[in-house]
Chain A
Amino acid sequence: MSAAPQKAKAGAEKIDVLVSAVVPLNDLVTRFEFKRTDGKDFPPFSAGAHTVVEMQDEGRTRLNPYSLMSDPADTSTYAISVRRDDQGRGGSLFMHQNVSQGDPMVITYPVNLFALDLRARKHIFFAGGIGITPFMAMIAQLERSNGHWELHYAARSPELASYATELKAKHPSNVHVYYDSENQAIDLGHLLEGQPLGTHAYVCGPAGMIQWVHTTAAELGWPEDNVHSEEFLAPQPGKPFQVRLCRSDITIDVGENESLLEAMERCGVDAPFLCRGGACGQCETDVVEHSGTFDHRDHWLDEAEHASGEKIMPCVSRFLGETLVLDR
């Protein structure tokens, strides 16, 4: 059956925007606000969603996912907050150094891989550093629907704790902030133990923190499905390597500072993707042949699949060795 055959495009639908505000929050974090170029309203979104921002960096297209942190009920503006990563491949540096108010940009429709479980009697949030952003939208959404929530937010120091002051002022009894610089730490075991039945926990922050929350919750007998996490993996730089794409019938080089997915796109291969952060599963690709070692960095494939050498997630994972042939 095909009423009107159309070729599916990779990635989510796009929206043309103008940068309506650039607001530095502290040494590391800046908020970027967008309005639609056509003057219309944005689509509503569900808290926890992200958008992929397209950056035109000297002839090279960078696509980075950022959590939408604005109030989902406010369809006039979308906002993201970006932490500068001096060690990364440059997406966040580009945002900090090259993007100013009035610039045209392209972002995608919202995609949610970190949704609230709306059945929950209570939501308990654990944020580490820039991991605060999705919770900004979640709190706004739950405030509107009279949801029951509390936030535990760990940051390096009061200066670097983006939005802590504002959150604390608005919701003094729901918000708890912990500063490394003052040797404060989340008393996780105690907090998880004391929750009413039907509570869901959410964590967003560094990999270690996510692991810590999952492990502690499991030890305390929390059902796995009641603990939610999101970690966007920025693709990490690595040694260049060569790949043969057998369906496209080309061999391509993946440079040190680009991901395998980006290299495919640069060579005109229309490869599927959504999150570009190893979380959604959309870019999953079959390995036809290989001799060498994979550097799997995604959250999608399980350990057995990683070990099998039969699949790779090109948005974040890399390869080292002689030959790699992919079914793409």
Chain B
Amino acid sequence: MTIQFNEETFRDDYSFRNSDWAIKRFPFPFHEDSYMYSVNMEQHRGGPAGSVYEKRFDVDEHYVSEMRDRALVLDDDPLRCQSLPHMTLAGWDTLELIMVSKSEDYPDLFELHRDGDQWHWINRPMGIEQKFTFLDETTLPCGPLEYITRQAQGDFAVLDQRDEMLWMDAGMVTTQADWSLDFDIGMNFFEWHAPVPLAHEMGIFKRALKFLLNIQQGAPARRLNWTMTVNPLLDTSPENYHKWGIQKTQMTPETIGAKQHLRVELQTFYRLPRSNALLFPIRCYLIAFQDLTTIPKWGRRLHRVIRDLPEELATYKGFIDNRPMMLDYLSQFDDGQPTSPGIWPDLTSEPALKK
């Protein structure tokens, strides 16, 4: 399938939209009618055709516009991309992984020609063509991590692995749910997770770290995480909280369906071959409540999950104040009928809304 790239914005007039195709393939994160933190990791070896899990790095209709938004964020704040000196090799690993994966998975969009260390990269959607020498930084316009992640959707944390621990020593972070690379750089797995409620006490981070340290080359893994965002903003960073925080108070019962977005992160984990570092791509998908509730199963379930979510989680995720308004809106889509297990929309088998 060829992808029609949207012409859209994630700021100012917020012209971001999901097509029917994008709505149906949205990575809905709830496999049952309730939610709690867990070590929800599975192998990342493809998934159903057309789903966001199918390819190693999913490319969708928002690609070109998301990359434009990233460039704007970087113009304002170059510290959104950082790499400590010992992480350059991991940057090349990342570049190689993304170029090889995209050219194999989307041959009509991306091409990579390699002759020894002489590489030739073609990115058609963005109109980029680059010849360079692999492992020679002077032949690229910027460092390898920045170069390739300006052409790949989602944020990227690159973790050095030392002394049975992961360290956030490099990254490209412009589409984050309220955390900052500049603040977290150099921290370890437990330090950067410190603000998260309940999960430490549940032993989740200890077990998750053990799992991550053992992720091996050729056997990537993935998990989903989610939060809420008012207006389709990619850059909800602490640095810009003064700009977007206030928008959370400007929603009304009339506008909530269009303004309130479920924000889902498809997080994947790759062992990088040359550096032995761990790559952590965090791909952000946004969907407006009014679009999400066109899928009857998802409408029913989202209402129940938000209603029953522990207060600590709703507070940490930043929507405790808006929860009553969300529930008023979502209750229209919950007729009390049971939902089928699993994350898929099940459009043909689930009953229509009876209200």
Contact = CB atoms under 8 A, between A and B. Distances in A.
The answer to whether A and B interact is yes
Contacts of A111: 216-217
Contacts of B161: 115
Given A109-B219, A117-B162, A2 B31 contact: yes
A64 B276 CA distance: 22
Interface string A1-29: 11111101000110000000000000000
Contacts of B224: 1
Most interface-central of B87, B160, B216 (chain A CB within 10 A): B216
A184 to B, nearest CB: 33
Interface stretch (A43-51, A168-176, A206-214, A257-265): A43-51
Interface string B197-221: 0000000000000100010111100
B107 interface: no
A288 B48 CA distance: 40
Contacts of A80: none
B216 A13 contact: yes
A112 interface: yes
B307 interface: no
A46 B275 contact: yes
Interface string B54-96: 0000000000000000000000000000001111010000001
Given A3-B51, A118-B86, A43 B217 contact: yes
A316 interface: no
B273 A4 contact: no
Given A1-B223, A6-B42, A43 B273 contact: yes
A138 to B, nearest CB: 12
Interface in B23-53: 27, 29-31, 40, 42-43, 45-48, 51, 53
A13 B221 CA distance: 13
A204 interface: no
Contacts of B214: 274, 280-282
Given A13-B217, A44-B274, A72-B274, A225 B163 contact: yes
Nearest to A2: B42
Nearest to A224: B163
Contacts of A5: 42
Interface residues of A, number: 31
Contacts of A282: 214
A114 B35 CA distance: 39
Contacts, number: 88
B343 interface: yes
B276 A115 contact: yes
A110 interface: yes
A38 to B, nearest CB: 14
B342 interface: yes
A81 B96 CA distance: 29
B82 to A, nearest CB: 15
Contacts of A109: 216-219
Secondary structure dominating the interface of B: loop
A43 B216 CA distance: 12
A145 interface: yes
Interface in B248-278: 273-276
Contact of A46 (B43, B47, B85, B273): B273
Contact of B40 (A1, A13, A225): A1
Contacts of A46: 273-276
A226 B214 CA distance: 21
A2 B342 contact: yes
Interface string B216-247: 11110011100000000000000000000000
Interface in B125-171: 135, 160-163
A60 interface: no
27 contacts: A1-B30, A1-B31, A1-B40, A1-B223, A1-B343, A2-B42, A2-B342, A3-B27, A4-B45, A4-B47, A8-B43, A12-B219, A13-B216, A43-B218, A46-B275, A46-B276, A72-B274, A111-B217, A112-B276, A115-B161, A118-B86, A118-B89, A118-B160, A119-B84, A119-B162, A274-B214, A282-B214
Given A3-B27, A12-B219, 18 more contacts: A1-B30, A1-B31, A2-B343, A3-B47, A3-B51, A3-B53, A4-B46, A4-B48, A13-B217, A45-B273, A110-B217, A112-B276, A115-B161, A115-B162, A119-B84, A119-B85, A225-B163, A280-B214
Interface of B: 27, 29-31, 40, 42-43, 45-48, 51, 53, 84-87, 89, 96, 135, 160-163, 210, 214, 216-219, 222-224, 273-276, 342-343
Interface of A: 1-6, 8, 12-13, 43-46, 48-49, 72, 109-112, 115, 117-119, 144-145, 225, 274, 280-282
